[in-house]
Amino acid sequence: MKIQIQSLHFDASSNLAEFIQKKVSKLEKYSDDILEADVVLKVIKPEASNNKDASVKLNVKSGEFFANKVADTFEEAVDLSVEALEKQLIRFKEKTRIKQ
């Protein structure tokens, strides 16, 4: 799976990029059909708490999955987005299994 990370209006640290790579690549165990993942990070209102926004879009053979979460840190926002995508992938897998 190809993972693209885009940070809007700031430079993501290498530690953050490694964290995202590690977390997002874990989604492969839920589906072999994932082609690529696009991760977009941005800061909403710099002074506020809960101002780190992470969007993760998965391109799969049969379509795409998307999750967007806001948290205190990018790590937490990515974590929440990956959890949401896990649920979506599991639900999708169960639906396709029922149709067969």
Q: What is the pLDDT of residue 100?
A: 65
- Residues whose CB is less than 8 angstroms from the CB of residue 41 and which lie 6 or more positions away in sequence, other chains included: 5, 6, 7, 8, 10, 12, 16, 52, 53, 54, 74, 77
Q: Once rounded to an integer, what is the mean pLDDT over residues 74-85?
A: 97
The CA angle 22-25-29, to the nearest 5 degrees, is 130
Structure tokens at 4: 């693209």
Helices (H) and strands (E) in the chain, counts: 2, 4
Q: Residue 59: what pLDDT?
A: 95
pTM score, whole prediction = 0.91
Q: For residue 71, report the phi and psi dihedrals to the nearest 5 degrees.
A: -150, -175
Q: Domains in the chain, ordered, with CATH?
A: 2-99 (3.30.160.100)
First to last CA, the chain: 26
**Quick count: other Cβ atoms within 10 Å of Cβ 46?**
8
Q: Say how far apart CA 34 and CA 52 lie, in whole Å.
A: 26
pLDDT digits (tens, 9 = 90+) for 15-54: 999 999 999 999 999 988 999 999 999 999 877 889 999 9
d(CA 50, CA 73): 7
pLDDT, mean of residues 48-73: 94
